Structure 1
Amino acid sequence: MLILYAGTIVLSAFLLFQVQPIIGKMVLPWFGGSAAAWTICMLFFQVTLLLGYLYSHLTSRYLAPRRQAWLHAGLLLTAALTLPIVPSNNWKPSVGDDPAFLLLGLLAATIGLPYFLLSTTGPLVQHWFAQERPGSVPYRLFALSNFASLLGLLSYPLLFEPRLTVKEMSTFWSLGFGLFALFCGALALSGRGRSTAPHTLREDAIAGKPTWRDSLLWCALAAVPTVVLMAATSHLTANIAPVPLLWVLPLVIYLLTFILCFESARWYKRWLFLPLMAVLTPLLIACTTFPSLMPRGIVWPTLLFSVCIFTYCMACHGELARLKPQPARLTAYYLMIAAGGAIGGIFTGLLAPRIFNDDYELTLSCIAAVCIVGMACHHRPSEPMQRGARIKAAVFFTTLVGVLWGANAIWPTVPSIKARNFYGTVKVKDTEPGTSQVRQLTHGTIVHGRQFLEPQKRRWPTTYYGSNSGAGIAIAASRNGSAQHVGVIGLGAGTMAAYCRPGDVYRFYEINPLVLDFAGQYFSFLRDCPATKEIALGDARLVLDAEVPQQFDVLAVDAFSGDSVPVHLLTTEAFNIYFRHLKPDGVLAIHISNRYLDMSPVVRRAADSFHRTAFLSQNMSDPQHGTTAATWVLIGQRDRLVPYAGLHELPPAPDVRPWTDDYSSLLGIMK
């Protein structure tokens, strides 16, 4: 029976964290593949976890053990009948849909019941264990559950994604869920010892019933590290190193702190983590407020954020483990932990983008962590504490919060125009006045366009779109004296419109309404363009797939947010859509500038699938003309592209497997 308990816990936790990246890979491309979409996915997982813990608490409290067992077995059978997990195309977003709520509905319809039942397993199985083995401490099963979650999370990018397609992973996951349903159903129906246990547990519960202050503190200690996790992940992937693999690292650290704190009390030391928070909080706030203070590159910023996540989560989870109740109150305790996680997820995923115009969650969560840990140090005064710990804690968090808020009030701010929505924060900022004053559009810290404000320079194509870049060469190579039809995936500041001539038709595809508003209001590329301009709002691939062939002379694909990769725009199916909209002699230009990934082999394999020739274009930066270094791949007729200097044909890439909607892996293209 002990093996069955442990096996059920391990399998459920492993599947719980395996399904997250699997379903994410299926549906995130429909929503732009952004970090914001992943944040909404995490919100769904947190809320469903809360519902699972609520179910465990209520059924354990109000149902007889036998009725609870039959109810749970019936739900397991129902969930098994909903497999495999395949999202319906009816959930694909259209213009005007709220991406956040649509994504939540899609996840609920696709994996809602299986994920809900997996979420119930931890507290429910630990409750059964405590009933059948009175006097035992089931909290190590919670550490085991988090260890299995860690294995599930790490095995996906390292073991499963590089070898299996999405359909194969979905099939294996469904088989794993079927095995889990058998294990959990057998465990539910075999609990003979539970019929005599409730009386003893009820007496224990009455004797040690926690106060409302206990419950609120449990909730707060779970909510704050959730906000730290989600806010730091968003900041790390959007501003420091937007590599999708780094979405995994903060979650690994978060789970590791749960494992350490609930495995043994020896891992959490107040004398270490309280001073660490005192040092890291002002450092992190300063670096996020003034990005120039952040070390360059990926290693040191990632290390700083990782240490911060570990410190705050370790402190909060350490205090949470210190305040855990007797096993009789186990389900109520886990319910408040799940409630805290859901509150943190709702605040970060739904409320913050609507009430803030910038990314303030990380700063607020750092200060909140200091305050909550300080309150936890005061809680349960009857417990032995280190000498002078209360006074030190009070001075620590009161002084620190005062200093931080005072510093925030006197820090100079850089004038800028900014707004925020589901897709992130968009800012417009002008450089100092002078002969070459420039207006810049950024998404997070990633530049999405610049424009000279001098009248004679404001129509110059800048940043990645200079005349010697792949974009400029594609425009020049496809001009034949007649009007030109150009498609652009990714509007930015509208810089590509600098190439338009009277009679041309330029059609832009943009997923973020804020970018469209800012490009039209604060930049003049679109206004100055004498061609016919068309704007299609929505995910470019979905919009193009629904349109009749456009017969583009050039189709430029530049929908990358920094170094993150919208995988769904680089698959064979996506290239099939592109070529359907291009003229036979048209040019497809793919912007692949990236500090961490070499995407040229992926594009070469896609071009090979359609028997097309791919050329690499790399240009250097030219500050006088406002252009930056950029790497493009041009796919078109050889005789049109060969004459241009700086182009060379991409070599074959036999070691890279072609990307499809069913398969992609970043491991094989990392620099």
Structure 2
Amino acid sequence: MSASRFLYGTTIFLSAFLLFVVEPMAAKELLPALGGSSAVWITCLVFFQLALLLGYLYAHWLTHQPSARTQRLIHLAALACAVVAVVLTLRFRMNLNNGASHPVTTIFTALTLGIGLPFLLLGSTSPLLQIWMARTEGGNVPYRLFALSNAGSLLALILYPTLIEPSLTLHHQRTAWSIGFALFAILGALLAYRFSTANPAAQPTQTTIEAIPPTSLQIRVLWFLLPMAAAMQLSAVTSHLTRNIAAIPLLWTMPLAVYLLTFILAFEFSSFYRRGIVVRFLVLMLASLGYALSRIDASLPIGIGILFFLAEVFVACLFCHAEVHALRPARPSEATLFYLLIAAGGVAGTFFVAIASPLLFVADYDLAIAFFLTALLALIVTWSDGWPQRLLWSTGTGLLFALLLMLHIVLARQTLLEVRNFYGALRVKQTDMPAQTLPTRMLLNGTIRHGTQMFAPGLSRIPTSYYAEDSGIGLALTNCCADAPRRIGIVGLGVGTLAAYGRPGDQIRFYEINPLVRPIAENLFTYLRDSAAQTTFADGDARTSLAREAPQHFNVLAVDAFTGDAIPLHLLTTQAMQLYRIHLAPGGILAFHVSNQYLDLAPEIAQLAAASNMEARSVDSPDDDSRGEYRATWVLVTANQQFLALPNIASRTEPISPVPGLHLWTDDYSSLLPILRWAHR
């Protein structure tokens, strides 16, 4: 390998690595203002794909400038502006306190101002340098460098949650990334200079170029549609896994890693791709998982479900990316257009799942639509393979369209309401089981249950699910204040179950980030209207709301936001604990709901309590189907030794065992890796 080729390869690899390190880093900075939902990550993907498209557009435009000197000057000016932008971003951080009311706008604005220009230049590097390399060294466009780019991206995606995040604070991450970007800018400037001063390699004569026919419109459309289907698969599978299979934090990185791996295989090891074999696996995956989707109330075992869906996204994305690679242009002048349409397809696919679909549909049909589009493209691509493939994929496409219609019918069964927004698809389901609680209503977001109420005589005012009288929050509310009126704060409304504990003279204040939840709790459940307490509400992120309010003097403050697909870590930092203490009355109690199959949050809360001169105790309560009670784990935190000494509390609570090597979380540092349960309970 020549020194020039090594320099080109190093710069492309570094740009891709920096690109995929800054993606989770930027998303993590946004989570505190937007509630910690996986929707934040999927919407960030839309921005990243869009910025990548603009980067490819920049490369396409730059390489069509009349002279190498002009290209050099423009690129040097862009690199200089990007370096200045990185320096300014290090010094000034954007205020996102009001972001929850307009989450999509907040994400796009923050990312544009924070990483927009540097991200665009990093994204433009691979196609730009491939064209420069072909012009200076001769030969065809080195498409295999696109695989090298994706290898750098994959490495960054693996290292961020396993090494970078656990080892570095956000400030140190930003500083290290800025140094890396400065190195990239130096390499980019050096290559721009070498390109402008090098003698152009012998290029094919105009006659030779004209002998290569231009790519047909049909193939150019496939350059767009195949990557669009792959991006839809990535986004839809990510959303489905985290909402319907297992609410495991960091799970969203797995489909993205698979997606990048298929790019590497398609562009670097294309000779190993066998359409006949991959198509057979694709039929099997779409058929089996399409059938699984049709059984809305059944579920696969978690491990099998994750593996099957990751296998499906691997086969589907490998098919799409390998087929688009097989259709790559022969004309060097069409190379940047090829990458441009690939990026445009990626934008369209992620945009549909993250932004368009929640506006168009009240229920989540994203995965079924992605399956249908993949089958339709397989029909188009394999049409020339003969009538067996045409018959197979015509049938498959028709069946997957029928699946869409059937899902609409099945989701409507026993469903009183379906609504959807940025924070997820909410569904109120009414069942007749068990018979003694007839009827029972449940609020669901995917498979996550946010509350249950039984409407049988004498049962409608009984707190159910995670909030039973023997749960941690039940013990705190029952034993905290004798018969005196209480002030109670609750982060996370759900169906308003905790309002059942309200007594005359009590004041209960709910904090809820999702604007769709409160109308559901008020109109389809009766806990709020039946409560004897006075209830008030604060919309938006709880921590932001608390920071704006005068001290509330809560006797009990319940924080119930950690059972979902992404954990709002900004509610579990030393700064958050200081804010909670401001709002607690003397002797007040913090109650954290930590029922989570995949995270052991209790040791971290115990560390936070100790740092705040408080004591933490864990409370486990059993499930009871006849009363609609779920197994629950709460952590009670207080400096009130009299409360902890009460017989009902002392006999039901347990000390929390520390986890070696666990660091105290702050607004600048947190990592879920040390507290992940590798074997869920």
Q: Same fold (TM over 0.5)?
A: yes
Verify: 1:234 aligned to 2:247, yes or no: no
SS in structure 2 at match of 1:583 = strand
- Deviation digits for residues 291-324 of structure 1 (CA, Å, limit 9, x no counterpart): 444322x311110111000010011111011101
| Aligned 8 A contact 1:87 1:106 in 2 | no
- Distance in 2 between residues matched to 1:201 and 1:569, nearest whole Å: 64
Pick from 12, 15, 18: which aligns with 1:15? 18
Q: Which position in structure 2 is the counterpart of 1:541? A: 543
Secondary structure at the aligned position of 2:466 is classed as coil
Q: Choose the corresponding residue for 1:466, options 468, 493, 496.
A: 468
| Cα distance in 2, alignment partners of residues 473 and 403 from structure 1 | 52
Specify the code of the residue in structure 2 equivalent to 1:304. Answer: F
Moved more, 32-41 or 410-419: 410-419
Residue of structure 2 equivalent to 1:283: 288
Map 1:55-74 to 2 at 5 A.
55-74=58-77
Q: Does 2:668 align with 1:668?
A: no
**Residue of structure 2 in register with 1:634 after alignment:** 636
The aligned amino acid for 1:210 is T
| Contact 1:428/1:441, CA 8 A, preserved across alignment | yes
Identity of aligned residues (%): 39
Report the secondary structure of 2:251's partner residue. Answer: helix
The residue type paired with residue 399 of structure 1 is T
Query: Could you tell me how far apart the structure 1 residues matched to 2:374 and 2:645 are?
Result: 59
Alignment partner of 1:117: what SS? Answer: helix
Q: Which amino acid aligns with 1:415?
A: Q
Does the CA-based 8 Å contact 1:165-1:662 persist in structure 2?
yes
The aligned counterpart of 1:261 is: 266
TM-score, scaled to structure 2: 0.94
Offset at residue 564 of structure 1 (A): 3.3
Corresponding residue of 2:398: 402
3-state DSSP of counterpart to 1:564: coil
1:508 Cα offset (Å)? 0.1
State the secondary structure of the residue aligned to 1:662.
Answer: coil
The equivalent of 1:436 in structure 2 is: 437
Within 2, Cα distance between the matches of 1:272 and 1:595? 38
Seen in structure 2, the aligned counterparts of structure 1 residues 214 and 572 have a Cα distance that, compared at 3 Å, is same
2:50 maps to a residue whose letter is V
Structure 1 unmatched ranges of 5 or more:
382-388
**Number of aligned pairs?**
661
Change (3 A) 1:239 1:521: same
Moved more, 357-366 or 404-413: 404-413
Match of 1:163 among 136, 160, 167: 167
1:243-258 residue pairs with structure 2 within 5 A?
243-258=248-263
Q: Deviations over 1:116-143 (max 9, x none)?
A: 1101101000010111122244011111
C-alpha distance 141-89 of structure 1, shift in aligned 2 (>3 A): closer
Q: State how far apart, in whole Å, the 2-side matches of 1:399 and 1:87 are.
A: 58
Residue 133 in 1 paired to residue 134 in 2?
A: no
- Which letter does structure 1 place at the counterpart of 2:169? T
Indicate whether 1:514 and 2:516 are aligned.
Answer: yes
SS at match of 2:428: strand
Q: Is 1:330 paired with 2:331? A: no
Cα distance in 2 for partners of 1:609, 1:473 equals 24
Q: 1:201 to 1:503 in 2, by over 3 A?
A: farther
Pairwise CA distance, 1:348: 1.2
CA RMSD after TM alignment:
1.9
Counterpart in 2 of 1:609? 611
- 1:318 and 2:319 matched: no
Summarize the alignment of residues 299-448 of structure 1 with structure 2, pairs less than 5 Å apart: 299-326=303-330, 327-378=332-383, 389-406=385-402, 409=405, 413=410, 414-416=413-415, 417-432=417-432, 434-437=435-438, 438-448=440-450
- 1:563 and 1:586, CA in 2 relative to 1: closer, same or farther beyond 3 A? same
Deviation at 1:265, TM superposition (A): 2.1
Closer, same or farther in 2 for the Cα pair 1:182/1:93, shift >3 Å?
Answer: same
- SS of the counterpart of 1:486? strand
Q: Distance in 2 between matches of 1:90 and 1:22?
A: 15
CA 1:90–1:407 in structure 2 vs 1: closer, same or farther (change >3 Å)?
closer
Note closer, same or farther for the CA distance 1:201–1:624 as it changes in structure 2 (3 Å cut): farther
Q: CA deviation at 1:652?
A: 4.1
Q: Which runs of structure 2 are paired with 1:106-185 in the superposition (5 Å)? A: 106-185=110-189
Partner Cα distance (2:283, 2:511) in 1? 46
Q: Name the aligned partner's letter for residue 436 of structure 1.
A: T
SS in structure 1 opposite 2:478?
helix
Offset from partner CA, 1:144-187 (integer Å, 9 cap, x none): 11111111111111111111111111100000000000001110
Paired residues of 1:552 and 1:582 also in contact (CA < 8 A): yes
* CA–CA distance in structure 2, aligned partners of residues 408 and 299 of structure 1: 26
In the superposition, relative to structure 1, how do residues 89 and 487 fare at CA in structure 2: closer, same or farther (>3 Å)?
farther
Show the counterpart of 2:664: 658
Structure-2 change in CA distance of 1:79 and 1:205 (3 Å): farther
Distance 1:86 1:238 in 2: 34
Aligned partner of residue 436 in structure 2, secondary structure: coil
Hey, what's the Cα distance between the residues in 2 that align with 1:302 and 1:653? 28
Say whether the 8 Å CA contact 1:604–1:653 is kept in structure 2.
no
Q: 484, 488, 491: which is aligned to 1:489? A: 491
Instruction: Give the letter for the 1:404 counterpart.
Output: L
How many angstroms apart in 1 are the aligned matches of 2:480 and 2:206? 79
Alpha-carbon separation, structure 1, partners of 2:109 and 2:206: 38
**Is 2:245–2:299's contact at 8 Å kept on the other side of the alignment?**
no
Deviation of the 1:530 alpha carbon: 1.9
Cα distance in 2 for residues equivalent to 1:302 and 1:202: 52
Give, in angstroms, the shift of residue 390 of structure 1. 2.8
Contact 1:242 1:563 in 2 (8 A): yes
Equivalent residue letter for 1:571: T
Q: Cα–Cα, structure 1 residues 61 and 563, in superposed 2: closer, same or farther, change >3 Å?
A: closer
Q: Which residue of 1 is the match for residue 582 of structure 2? A: 580
The AA in structure 1 aligned to 2:60 is: H
Q: Of residues 27, 32, 47 in structure 1, which corresponds to 2:35?
A: 32
Question: How far, CA to CA, are the matches of 2:100 and 2:270 in structure 1?
Answer: 51
Amino acid in structure 2 at the alignment position of 1:338: A
Alpha carbons of 1:13 and 1:182: their partners in 2 closer, same or farther (altered >3 Å)? same
Deviation at 1:375, TM superposition (A): 1.2
> Is 1:2 matched up with 2:5?
yes
* Partner Cα separation in structure 2 for residue 138 and residue 108 of structure 1: 31
**1:592–1:139 CA distance, 2 compared to 1 (3 A):** same
Q: Residue 382 of structure 2 aligns to a residue in which SS?
A: helix
The equivalent of 1:594 in structure 2 is 596
Change (3 A) 1:272 1:502: same
CA apart distance, 1:562: 2.8
**Equivalent position SS for 1:220:** helix
1:76 is aligned, of 67, 75, 79, to 79
Tell me which moved more, 206-215 or 309-318. Answer: 206-215
5+ residue gaps in structure 2? Answer: none
Going from structure 1 to structure 2, the CA distance change for 1:363 and 1:663 (only over 3 Å counts) comes to same
Report the alpha carbon displacement of residue 445 of structure 1 after superposing the two structures with TM: 1.1
1:419-445 superposed Cα distances (whole Å, 9 cap, x missing partner): 100000000011127431211011111
| CA distance 1:86–1:496, change in 2 (3 Å) | farther
1:222 to 223, 227, 230: 227
- Are the aligned partners of 1:563 and 1:595 in contact in 2 as well (CA < 8 Å)? no
Task: Give 1:481 shift.
Answer: 2.1
Q: Distance in 2 between matches of 1:658 and 1:54?
A: 44
* Structure 1 residue aligned with 2:552: 550
Letter in 1 for 2:148: L
